[in-house]
Amino acid sequence: MSDKIGNVWVFAEQEGGKIANVSLELISKGRELAAKLGVKTEAVFIGNNIEKIAETLFHYGCDKIFLAESPDFEPFTVLPYADIINKLVEEHKPNILLFGATPKGRELAPRVASSLPAGLTADCTDLKIDDFDDKVNKAFYKNKLMQIRPAFGGNIVATIVNTWKDPQMVTVRPGVMKLVEPDPSRKGAIVKVKAQVDPALKILNVIERAQKEKSVNLQASQIIVAGGYGVGGKENFKLIYDLAKTLGGDVGSSRAAVDAGWIDHDHQVGQTGVTVRPKLYIACGISGSIQHRAGMTESGTIIAINNDPDAPIFSAAHYGIVGEINSVVPKIIKAYKAKA
Amino acid sequence: MNLSYLVFVKQVPDTKNITGEAMKPDGTVNRAALPAIFNPEDLNALELALNLKDRFGGKVTVATMGPPAAAEVLRQSLYRGADEVALLTDRAFAGADTLATSYTLSCFAKNNGKYDLILCGRQAIDGDTAQVGPQLAEKMDIPQICYVEEVLELDRKKIKARRAIDGGFEIVESALPALMTVINSNEPRPASAKRIMKYKKAKTRNELLTLHANAAYTDAEFLVKEEEELKQKGLWIHALSAADVKADIDRIGLKGSPTKVKNIESVVLKSSEMKKIEDNEAGIKFLVNELIKEHILG
């Protein structure tokens, strides 16, 4: 058994030369885990002509980047990416390997985990280093990665541990790990990786691609005014937009409002939407299911407006107003305009 | 065309009504205590397979790994149009994580037929991991097309499909055999009344034995005859053990699972100290003032 612990690795995801936010969140978190273990934070960065944006990863705490560049890596397909990651893992034996739980991360990580093979836990919402005393199997594991994730539609939270050899692999939900303040003076080493893609890995080809920008990026919002089923209809959402505009914020929603067709899915906060942590979250006519709360409970200040005094959202709120949206929201707009 | 499609489905607990008692002390799920349903996206995968059969011909096999009671999702697959079904059931499969599960499924797919296309739902609502599809594709050493919305073209050699990507879609072409994970993008056909009449009689050996619990030991000949009859009518649900699918015993179930559950907690909604604000001008004015004072509002 080797005593040396491997480093903490992050698969740094990029699209069209822009690094995914979740990858920066993972570098931030990875550095914290690495400090605890006394190891380095390193990234695997794959794409074409991406060296110029690589240094951003250093600013967030990455010490070394394994950079693989080839035209064969654009657009993203799973097999060439998995091949590079597999080879690097075999060679350098990281202790931990983190992926964002994005559509790409969620199809790439299991492919890699299966071939290593390694344990993989999906959609983690928290990570910690701790010991695992497995009483059932009478085994003790020191300094393992606690992989914390919701399951059963958010009704339970499970702590999972990988008991096989490293790497300990997880995908992590975007938006849940806090970004550190970037330090533009921070530097690191770039290791260029030979990126010869075997023709056998080009068995799947992308023929056409259509992508549009999200209509809103709630993860960057400081103020979110969110509407739920209690808003009562598509027209009534205008009030939610008015309040958001007045306060300089963005509009979010619960799943019920999206399912009702009142607002686009890009606005959805919660388990099947985005996870947000704004300074201020105003929940209007949102009952506050576990699934919704999973996406907004880390907000700085939460105001709940609901006509049902027993709505569960009130137990998550710092300020609660029992009342109709049509009555409360215009009063807030008026009061704020009188102040500002 | 003589194509063969294999759809993997899963019977899952309905996660809308779950309590803490649904978990066993070892942290695995106590499935017996929960209402069981056909995993929703697996129905989409089955629908896509049946749709491909309608358009291009071929044969649809549906398989599931689970306890004996999971035979129910196989009957439901027969009601909708599946040609053949198989139940992978063995105590040794229990407690499998996604790696052990994908290995077990790959044993069936490799050793019990030859398939051009493997389909499964993107993810199951009990774990929401979406890992088994890609892991199964890796074990089969075939390409994976994840998040498929529809199939545009199919022939013996290749497939062209449209799949969802972040903020849009992609059209990809892949050689066969391949694996697809399917998202909620089609309307699964309802069970056909005629097929229900026929296939509600479909049984596993276990179910046949249970039905004739008293006869099981006294009249084995009768059971053999009945089994033969069911087989001839296409009403036999194959039940396969770990040995039947030639699975390595060290790679299945808890033993073949690298991830262990350390502990499970029911989600306790945290209660914060809430200030109640009255719905009147004075109340709202107070609130806005507080927010400005605390620099939460500019």
pLDDT digits (tens, 9 = 90+) for A221-245: 999 999 999 999 999 999 999 999 9
Q: Where does the pLDDT of residue A154 fall: very low under 50, low under 70, confident under 90, or very high at 90 and above?
A: confident
Q: Indicate whether A101 and A162 sit together in one domain.
A: yes
| Under 8 Å between Cβ of A109 and A120 | yes
Domain that holds residue A190: 8-202
- Per-residue pLDDT tens for A287-328? 999 889 989 998 999 999 999 999 999 999 999 999 999 999
Considering the domain architecture, whether residues A46 and A141 belong to the same structural domain is answered as yes
* Range A211-224 average pLDDT: 89
A192's tokens: 């260029």
Least confident of A107-116, A121-130, B136-145, B200-209: B200-209
Check residue A153 and give its pLDDT.
75
- B252 close to B99: Cβ distance less than 8 angstroms: no
| Whole-number average pLDDT of chain A | 94
Q: Is the pLDDT of residue A1 over 50?
A: no
Whose structure tokens read 């609130």? B287
CB contact under 8 A, B128 and A132: no
Query: How far is the alpha carbon of B258 from chain A, nearest alpha carbon, in Å?
Result: 5
pLDDT beyond 60 at A261: yes
Let me know if residue B293 belongs to a domain.
no
In a domain, A247, yes or no: yes
Among candidates B134, B160, B258 on the partner chain, residue whose Cβ is nearest the Cβ of A119 = B258
Q: Is residue A137 part of a domain?
A: yes
Q: Which two tokens stand for residue A323?
A: 């009342």
Return the closest-CA partner of residue A325 out of A232, A254, A191, A205. Answer: A232
A209/B165 CB distance under 8 A: yes
Which CATH number does the domain housing residue B66 bear? Answer: 3.40.50.620
pLDDT for A42:
98
In a domain, B229, yes or no: no
**Residue B17 sits at the chain A interface (C-beta within 8 Å):** no
End position of a domain, from candidates A202, A233, A258: A202
Q: Are residues A31 and A148 in the same domain?
A: yes
Nearest to A251 by CA among A215, A294, A289: A215
Number of domains in chain B: 1
Smallest CA–CA distance, residue B48 to chain A, in Å, is 20
CA–CA dist A295, A286 (Å, integer): 13
Across the interface, whether the CB atoms of B283 and A321 are under 8 A apart is answered yes
The residue among B132, B180, B274, B198 whose CA lies nearest residue A313 is B274
Chain B segment 136-195 residues within 8 A of A by beta carbon are: 137-139, 143-147, 160, 164-175, 178
A176 and A224 in one domain? no
Nearest CA in chain B to A136: B26
B134 touches chain A (CB under 8 A): yes
Same domain, A72 and A45: yes
Q: Tell me the sheet residues that pair with B263.
A: A159
C-alpha distances (whole Å) from A111 to each of A117, A225, A280, B179, B181 are 9, 39, 39, 12, 13
Task: For A221, list phi and psi in degrees, rounded to 5.
Answer: -80, 140
Q: Using the beta-carbon criterion (under 8 Å), do B296 and A301 form an inter-chain contact? A: yes
Domain limit, last residue, from A202, A229, A261: A202
Query: Could you tell me the CATH number of the domain that includes residue A165?
Result: 3.40.50.620
Closest-CA residue of B relative to A332 is B284
pLDDT of the residue at B27: 57
Q: A 27-66 residues with CB below 8 A of B?
A: none
- For an interface test with A, which of B29, B128, B176, B261 has the most A Cβ atoms less than 10 Å from its Cβ? B128
Any B CB within 8 A of A332 CB:
yes
Contact present, A169 and A113 (Cβ < 8 Å): yes
Same domain, A312 and A234: yes
Whether B192 is in a domain gets the answer yes
Q: Does A316 touch chain B (CB under 8 A)?
A: yes
B interface test, pick of A143, A156, A198 with most B CB neighbours within 10 Å: A156
- The beta-carbon neighbor of A156 closest among B266, B289, B294 is B266
Same domain, residue pair A172 and A256: no
User: Does the residue A1 lie in any domain?
Assistant: no
Question: Do residues A97 and A168 touch, judged by C-beta distance below 8 A?
Answer: yes
Q: Which residues of B touch A146 (CB under 8 A)?
A: 262
Strand B259-266's sheet: what is its strand order?
A126-134, A139-151, A156-162, B259-266
- Tell me the CATH number at A286: 3.40.50.1220
Task: Please give the Cα distance from A52 to A49 (Å, whole number).
Answer: 7
Whether A83 and A155 share a structural domain = yes
Q: Are A13 and A19 in contact (CB under 8 A)?
A: yes
Task: Reply yes or no on whether the pLDDT at A17 is more than 50.
Answer: yes
Give the pairing of strands A156-162 and B259-266.
antiparallel
B120 Cβ neighbours under 8 A, 6+ residues apart: B7, B8, B9, B42, B45, B132, B133, B136, B179, B180, B181, B182
Same domain, yes or no, for A22 and A167?
yes
For the residues A74-101, what does the mean pLDDT come to? 97
Count of structural domains, chain A: 2
Does A212 fall in a domain? no
* Parent domain of B148: 4-202+237-251
Flag whether pLDDT at A80 surpasses 90. yes
Q: Are residues A165 and A232 in the same domain?
A: no
In a domain, A48, yes or no: yes
Closest CB to B262 among A151, A160, A207: A160
The alpha carbon dihedral of A288, A294, A296, A301 has a sign of positive
Instruction: Tell whether A249 is within 8 A of chain B (Cβ).
Output: no
pLDDT recorded at residue B214: 61
pTM value? 0.89
What is the CB-side half-sphere exposure of residue B204 using CA atoms within 13 A? 23
Taking CA A308 as the corner, what is the angle to CA A302 and CA A310, rounded to the nearest 5 degrees? 75
Instruction: Please check whether residues A190 and A258 belong to one and the same domain.
Output: no
Q: Three-state SS string across chain B, please? A: CCCEEEEEECEEECCCCCCHHHECCCCCECHHHCCEEECHHHHHHHHHHHHHHHHHCCEEEEEEECCHHHHHHHHHHHHHCCCEEEEECCHHHCCCCHHHHHHHHHHHHHHCCCCCEEEEECCCCCCCCCCHHHHHHHHHCCCEEEEEEEEEEECCCEEEEEEEECCEEEEEEEECCEEEEECCCCCCCCCCHHHHHHHCCCECHHHHHHHCCCCCCCCHHHHHHHHHHHHHCCCECEEECCCCCCCCHHHCCCCCCCEEEEEEEECCCCCCCCEEECCCHHHHHHHHHHHHHCCCCC
On the question of a cis peptide bond just before residue A110, with omega within 30 degrees of 0, the verdict is no
Contact B267 A154 (CB under 8 A): yes
Nearest-by-CA chain B residue for A211: B168
Measure CB to CB from residue B296 to each of A78, A121, A280 and give the nearest one. A280
Which residues of A, range 134-173, sit inside 8 Å of B by Cβ? 134, 136-137, 146-147, 150-164
Q: Does A189 touch chain B (CB under 8 A)?
A: no
Backbone angles phi, psi at A224, to 5 degrees: -125, 125
B261/A160 Cβ within 8 A? yes
Task: Label residue A331 by pLDDT band (50, 70, 90).
Answer: very high
End-to-end CA distance of chain B: 67
Measured distance CA(A122)–CA(A109) in Å, rounded: 9
Residues A161 and A245 placed together within one structural domain of the fold: no
A196 SS3 class: coil
Query: Which residue among A153, A170, A202 closes a domain?
Result: A202
Residue in B131, B258, B263 nearest the CB of A122:
B131
Q: Is A103 on the interface with B (CB under 8 A)?
A: yes
* pLDDT tens-place values along chain B, 298 residues long: 799 999 999 999 887 665 556 666 655 666 667 789 999 999 999 999 999 999 999 999 999 999 999 999 999 999 999 999 999 999 999 999 999 999 999 999 999 999 999 999 999 998 899 999 999 999 999 999 999 999 999 999 999 999 999 889 999 999 999 999 999 999 999 999 999 999 999 999 889 888 877 655 557 788 888 889 999 999 999 999 999 999 999 999 999 999 999 988 877 666 668 899 999 999 999 999 999 998 898 7
The answer to whether A315 faces chain B, any CB pair under 8 Å, is: yes
